[in-house]
Structure 1
Amino acid sequence: MKQTENIVVGISIGDLNGIGGEIVLKTFEDPRILDFCTPVIFASIKVMSFFKTHFKSEINFHSIKELSQLVQGKVNVLNCWQEPVKIEFGKEDTKIGAFAIKSLEAATKALKEEAIDVLVTAPINKSNIQSEAFKFPGHTDYLAQELEGDSLMFMINDGLRVGLLTDHVPVKDIATHITPQLIEKKIATVYESLVKDFKIQKPKIAVLGINPHTGDNGVIGNEDDAVLRPTLQKIKEGGKLVYGPYAADSFFGSNNYKNFDAIIASYHDQGLIPFKTLSFGQGVNFTAGLSKVRTSPDHGTAYEIAGKGTADENSFKEAVYSAMKIFKNRSEYEELTANPLKKASRNERR
C-alpha cells in the first residue's frame, strides 16, 4: 500500500530517446506541484541524472529501491534497472523500447497493487516496443488487458471531451468494426466516465457519423442508416441523452460541440484532428473505463526535437493534474455510492 497522504502519481518514462525525460523534468521543476502529489518515476537514477545534467535542470531526485521508501515532497525515482543505457536523442532503438516496457510494466504492477494511485505515461514509440513478450499497439491495449474494465481512448481538455468508437484500426476496416454491440459498449463507457470521473449527473453525448454527410440517405454508404441510427435510437429510448449521427465535417466548425458533454467519433482521425486543432499542447489522453486512472499527453515522442530543450511540457503537466482530479472525483463518487445516506445528506444541504 502507498506510504504518503498525497496522491501518488506513478510515471512511466516512455521512450528515452524522445522528449519524455525532458517534459517530466520540466513538469516537476516547479516545487509547488509537490504540495498536491507525490511523484514516482519508474526508470533509473542514472538515466534521470543524465537528463538532469543534459537539460541543466535543478531538480533533486530521491532514489528508491522499493515503493515503501517513497518520500512526500520529493521527486522519487524507483530504480527499475541497474544496467547503463546509451541514450541517443531522436533515434529509434529497440533496446530503448525494451526499457520503456520495463518502466511501463513496473508502473502498472504498482498501480494494480495500489502502491500508486494513478499512472501518467510518457510517450512511447509503438514500433520499437514490439517483442515476443510484448505485442500490443500501445499503452491502451496493454492496460486494457492488465486492468479491469472496457478501455476507451478519451481525449479531454477543459469542457471538450472526445471519445472513439474505433481507435488504432486501419481506415479500410473501420465500417466492419462498428457494430451495434460496440456502439452500445463505447457509449456506456463514456456515459459512466462522465458521471463518475467528471461529476456530470445527466450527460449529453453527440455521436459523429461513419460516412461523409452520414451517408446522404445511402448514397455514400448505408452504415449510418443501417447500424448507427437504430442503435442510437435504442440507447436513447433507454434513457440516455445521446444524439446523432452528426456530419463530422461541420460539427466542430459550427461550434455545435459546445452543446455536449462529450463527442464520440467513429474513428481515430475523425475525432483527434479537430481535438488537437482546438487544444494541441493542452490536451490529455485519458483511458476511460478502466478500474484505475491513467492519463498521458496528447503527443508522441517528437524525435525531431528530442534533446534540444525546446519541448513543451504543458500537455504532460495537464495529464498529471487531470489524473489527480479524476482520481478525486472517482473516489468521491465511490464513497457516495457506498454510503447513500451521506449522499442524501449532501443533497439536503444544497
Structure 2
Amino acid sequence: MKREEKIIVGISVGDLNGIGPEIIIKTYEDPRTLELNTPVIFASGKTMQFFKNHFKSKINFFNIDSPDKLVHGKVNVVNVWKEPVKVEFGKPDKKIGEYAIKSLSAATNALKNNQIDVLVTAPINKHNIQSEEFNFPGHTDYLAKTLEGKSLMFMVSDDLRVGLLTDHVPLKDASEHITEELINEKLKTVLYSLKQDFGIRKPRIAVLAINPHAGDNGVIGKEDDEVLRPAIEKIRNENALVFGPYSADSFFGSNTYKSFDAVIASYHDQGLIPFKTIAFGEGVNYTAGLNKVRTSPDHGTAYEIAGKGVADESSFKQAINTAIQIFRNRKQHKHYSKNPLEKVKK
C-alpha cells in the first residue's frame, strides 16, 4: 500500500500503571488491523515487551529510534526512553506521569512534523502529570497550545456528538466563563468541524441551557436570557442552524438530540453524563478546532482493573477508526474546497 493510502496512527501510551498499554496491545494483536493503518507507539521496546509478557500476548513489536524509520505492516515502537520502568498496576505515581508526558510530547512533535498522520492518546492521570514543564488540566489544553488552535472537547459516537462550552473548570465558575465571545468561538468551531471533519453540509446544532428550565424567564438565573440566547441569535442571523437554549433535564431522555447533528452543553457533566450513559464504550473524545487530528477513548486510566487483562479495548479501537475517518474527510473537504467544479458535480 502506498504511503498516502496507509494512514500512520501515532499512539501515546498514557499512564503505564493504568489500562492504556493493555488496550493498545489488544487492539493490534489481530494482524489484520495492520492492513488498515500503521501504528507508531511512543514508549520503549523494553516497556512494551514487559506488557506483552504480562498479558501473555502474541503481538510482535518493531523497535525504531525515529518515526521516520517505521515499517508498514509492523507494530512500530519508537524508543522515547531506554531505561527500565517500574510498573505498579493501579498505583498513581508521579514518575509514571513523567513517562506519560514524555510519550505525549514525542508523539505531538511527530504530529507537528507530519511524521504521523493522526494522534490517538491513551488515558493519563491528570494529577500525576503536573509539573513545572507540564501545567495543563489534560490533553486538550496541552494540544491547543502546542498545535496553536481553538480546541474544543467533542465527544462523538455514531448518532451522538456532544461539545462543551466549558470543560475542566469547577462548576461554581462555569457560568462566569460563558461569555458571548466564548459561545461564538465554540459554536463556530463545532459548525466548521461538522462540515470539515464529518462531512455534514448544513449541520443542525442544539445548545443546552446554563440554568434549570433555561432560567424560567429569569426566575432561576438570568444567564440564559442575557448571555446565551442573544449569542445564539447572532449566529443564527449568519444563516447557521443553531437552536436553543434547551432545558437539559429532558433533552436526552426525550430523544430530542436525535434531531440534531451536535449538542453543545454549557458545562462538563451536563454533556458528558448523558453521553457516557448513551454511548459508553463506543464513544470517542475528539479534539476539534486543531489543524491536526487527535482522538482518545471515552474513559480514564481505570486503575481498579489495571493489569488484570479484563480491560475493554472497544473505545480505543473506535478512537483509531474515528481519527482515520476524520483524516480522510479533511482531505476530501480540502480537495472540494479548492476545486469548485467538483462541488457542482457533487
TM bracket (short chain): over 0.9
**1:68, distance to aligned residue in structure 2 (A):** 1.9
> Using the alignment, how far apart are the partners of 1:145 and 1:204 within structure 2?
29
- Residue in structure 1 matched with residue 312 of structure 2 by the alignment: 312
**1:24, distance to aligned residue in structure 2 (A):** 0.2
Task: Report the 3-state secondary structure (helix = DSSP H, G, I; strand = E; otherwise coil) of the residue aligned with 2:239.
Answer: coil
Q: Where in structure 1 are there 5+ consecutive unaligned residues?
A: none
**1:3, distance to aligned residue in structure 2 (A):** 6.0
Distance 1:268 1:66, change over 3 A: same
CA contact (8 A) 1:4 1:72 kept: no
> Using the alignment, how far apart are the partners of 1:343 and 1:29 within structure 2?
41
For residues 296-337 of structure 1, give each alpha carbon's deviation from its aligned partner in whole angstroms, at most 9, with x where no partner exists.
Answer: 000000000000001000000000000000000011101111
Identity %, equivalent residues: 69
**1:30, distance to aligned residue in structure 2 (A):** 1.5
Please give the residue correspondences for 1:204-215 in structure 2 after superposition, counting only pairs within 5 Å: 204-215=204-215
Does residue 183 of the first structure (1) align with residue 183 of the second (2)?
yes
CA RMSD across the alignment:
1.0
> Using the alignment, how far apart are the partners of 1:264 and 1:87 within structure 2?
39
- Residue in structure 2 matched with residue 138 of structure 1 by the alignment: 138
Count of residues paired in the alignment: 345
**1:155, distance to aligned residue in structure 2 (A):** 0.2
- Residue in structure 1 matched with residue 256 of structure 2 by the alignment: 256
- Residue in structure 2 matched with residue 279 of structure 1 by the alignment: 279
**1:94, distance to aligned residue in structure 2 (A):** 0.5
CA contact (8 A) 1:197 1:330 kept: yes
For residues 104-155 of structure 1, give each alpha carbon's deviation from its aligned partner in whole angstroms, at most 9, with x where no partner exists.
Answer: 0000000000000000000000000011111011000000001132100000
For residues 46-66 of structure 1, give each alpha carbon's deviation from its aligned partner in whole angstroms, at most 9, with x where no partner exists.
Answer: 010000000011111111011
Q: 2:69 is matched by which residue type in structure 1? A: Q
For residues 217-259 of structure 1, give each alpha carbon's deviation from its aligned partner in whole angstroms, at most 9, with x where no partner exists.
Answer: 1111000001011111111111000000000000000000000
- Residue in structure 2 matched with residue 238 of structure 1 by the alignment: 238
Q: 2:97 is matched by which residue type in structure 1? A: G
> Using the alignment, how far apart are the partners of 1:83 and 1:72 within structure 2?
27
**1:339, distance to aligned residue in structure 2 (A):** 2.2
> Using the alignment, how far apart are the partners of 1:33 and 1:83 within structure 2?
30
- Residue in structure 1 matched with residue 20 of structure 2 by the alignment: 20
> Using the alignment, how far apart are the partners of 2:323 and 2:22 within structure 1?
20
Task: Report the 3-state secondary structure (helix = DSSP H, G, I; strand = E; otherwise coil) of the residue aligned with 2:289.
Answer: strand
Task: Report the 3-state secondary structure (helix = DSSP H, G, I; strand = E; otherwise coil) of the residue aligned with 1:38.
Answer: strand
- Residue in structure 2 matched with residue 95 of structure 1 by the alignment: 95
TM-score, normalized by length of structure 1?
A: 0.97
- Residue in structure 2 matched with residue 154 of structure 1 by the alignment: 154
**1:4, distance to aligned residue in structure 2 (A):** 7.0
Q: Where in structure 2 are there 5+ consecutive unaligned residues?
A: none
Task: Report the 3-state secondary structure (helix = DSSP H, G, I; strand = E; otherwise coil) of the residue aligned with 1:244.
Answer: strand
Q: 1:102 is matched by which residue type in structure 2? A: K
> Using the alignment, how far apart are the partners of 1:304 and 1:41 within structure 2?
24
For residues 161-209 of structure 1, give each alpha carbon's deviation from its aligned partner in whole angstroms, at most 9, with x where no partner exists.
Answer: 0000000010010111000000000000000000000000000000000
CA contact (8 A) 1:3 1:68 kept: no
- Residue in structure 1 matched with residue 298 of structure 2 by the alignment: 298
For residues 46-93 of structure 1, give each alpha carbon's deviation from its aligned partner in whole angstroms, at most 9, with x where no partner exists.
Answer: 010000000011111111011221111110000000111000000000
Task: Report the 3-state secondary structure (helix = DSSP H, G, I; strand = E; otherwise coil) of the residue aligned with 2:135.
Answer: coil
- Residue in structure 1 matched with residue 323 of structure 2 by the alignment: 323
CA contact (8 A) 1:4 1:70 kept: no
- Residue in structure 1 matched with residue 47 of structure 2 by the alignment: 47
CA contact (8 A) 1:4 1:71 kept: no
Q: 2:75 is matched by which residue type in structure 1? A: V
Q: Which moved further from structure 2: 140-149 or 247-256?
A: 140-149
- Residue in structure 1 matched with residue 195 of structure 2 by the alignment: 195
Q: 2:200 is matched by which residue type in structure 1? A: I
**1:342, distance to aligned residue in structure 2 (A):** 3.1
> Using the alignment, how far apart are the partners of 1:267 and 1:99 within structure 2?
31
